Amino acid sequence: MGHGHHIEIKQETFVVPAKGKQFAMILMILGLILAGIGIANIDRNAGAHDEHTKVEAKSHDSHEAATAHNEHVEHAVAAESHEADAHAEHANVPNEKFGPRMEYHPIEHPWQTKIWANLLIAGYFFLMVSLCALFWIAIQYAANAGWSAAVKRIPEAMFTFVPVAFGVLLISVIIAKNDLYHWAHYEHLHLKVGDAGYDKILDGKSGFLNSTLFFVLPIVLVTIWYILGRRLRSLSLQEDSAAKGDTTFFKKSIRTSAILAVIFGFTISFMAWFFIMSIDAHWYSTIFGVYNFITHWVTAITIIALLTAYLKKLGYLNIVSDEHIHDLGKFMFAFTIFWAYIWLSQYLLIWYAQIPEEMYYYQIRFEEYKANFLGNLVMNFCLPFALLLMRSAKRNRWVLGIIGTIMILGHYHDVWFMVMPGVFGPGMQIGVLEVGVFMFFAGLFLIWTLTALTKRGLIPVNHPYIEESAHHDVGV
């Protein structure tokens, strides 16, 4: 239960322990080694054999262009056609044996594309997790929450990784945009109605899906979020130096958080639409933005919980009790269920409607990546749901650590699963390159966050609700 005695609230200064640095460095070094092995083992002869296997593949009309499809298995619009053109050996052609289905073939790319695709996944994943940590802070202020004041410095530190992750993401898409995104290569063809290879769907989306907006809008949005996040972090620091009982900085933080929450809530989906959903440019889902948000939101909460438990183990955060750990565990449990709800909602709507341009997204993932499809559900819902049901599990730091690790790996796999089938078609699996890239960025994110925690006190001693947080009691 809650504290039944007086708790002294005093500032704590964090110093990254030697073992923490070593663990992060080992992750990064092993990650680089594994990534290097993965790169060395990429088949350099697996690139496109000739021009007709790439996006600029020409077909005689828009109907045949849909069935020819290129590297992104997206031309399900012509699913009723049975005749493959001269390039059928590399095409994704319809198969009418069971409804308007597609027949998939591996898609050839330059060998470097696999590297850039993995950097896209890592950059996007850690960017969204860092941004969700910022959103967590804003929500706590906007909701006037008191319990979370004791752990607020952790998401503040996680947020500082935004520039690094966004830089990696931009580098990957700048260098490999035409190989990762079918629409980007098609854009350069400047085809008109009646031209061979003209694509009605891509042309109809060109007002939104174009290179200018693709780069400008995300840069503008991330800049706005980052400026607001820096302001919140600055106000938090200034509050530490304020007089006891001075709520000036707290009120400014609430106003800033309200602005951030509204802007973030209405614009975060653009990141998913541009960087992930547009990989399958003919496909669309009205809840894809929400799905992307929730997979990173539950990951951010999980990392906050794990870092809180880690700092407690080191002897820091003395005002944090099992009650706080319990609440973080409940959030992990609750949003795991919400992730499953959105996952199932998106799947059932598309399964029930059987609209060809929607179906193929799940068809390739279920038929060609069945183990990944089912594994995604097990790691992100079945295991966390079953293991977090118990009250004791939510309060046990070791159990949370094991479950949290599974959840982080599961949601990283979720992003991988959104990207790889759309870029390469069937046949891709997680290998040493994928493991190495994840380990490197996980280690970098960890040491970056721990270092950020040393820049200021761990306890927001002048936060108006710090006393409430110190005496937090979940009541059960």
pLDDT tens track for 288-314 = 999 999 999 999 999 999 999 999 999
For the chain, the first-to-last Cα distance in angstroms comes to: 7
Report the share of the chain in percent with pLDDT over 90: 70
DSSP 8-state code for residue 79: T
Give the pLDDT band of residue 476 (cuts 50, 70, 90).
low
The most confident of the ranges 103-112, 315-324, 359-368, 445-454 is 445-454
Amino acid found at 231: R
Tell me the average pLDDT of the chain. 86
Give the residue-averaged pLDDT of 90-113.
65
pLDDT, residue 242, reads: 87
pTM beyond 0.85 = yes
pLDDT, residue 49, reads: 38
**Tokens (6 digits) for 286:** 């009205």
Strand partners, 94: 102
Cα 273 from Cα 288, distance rounded (Å): 8
Q: Convert the pLDDT of each residue in 454-471 to its tens digit.
A: 999 999 999 999 999 998
Residues 6+ apart with CB under 8 A from 123: 165, 166, 167, 168, 169, 170, 171, 172
Amino acid found at 357: E
Cα 376 from Cα 365, distance rounded (Å): 11
pLDDT, residue 194, reads: 86
- How distant, in Å, are the alpha carbons of 174, 212, 315, 446, 452 from that of 19? 37, 46, 14, 12, 17
pLDDT, residue 100, reads: 56
Q: Convert the pLDDT of each residue in 13-54 to its tens digit.
A: 999 999 999 999 999 999 999 999 999 998 776 544 333 333
Give the pLDDT band of residue 473 (cuts 50, 70, 90).
confident
Cα 215 from Cα 174, distance rounded (Å): 9
Q: Convert the pLDDT of each residue in 226-258 to its tens digit.
A: 999 999 999 999 999 888 888 999 999 999 999
The lowest-confidence range among 45-54, 140-149, 285-294, 351-360 is: 45-54
Q: Convert the pLDDT of each residue in 201-218 to its tens digit.
A: 899 999 999 999 999 999
Q: Convert the pLDDT of each residue in 402-448 to its tens digit.
A: 999 999 999 999 999 999 999 999 989 999 999 999 999 999 999 99
Cα 281 from Cα 205, distance rounded (Å): 9
pLDDT, residue 62, reads: 38
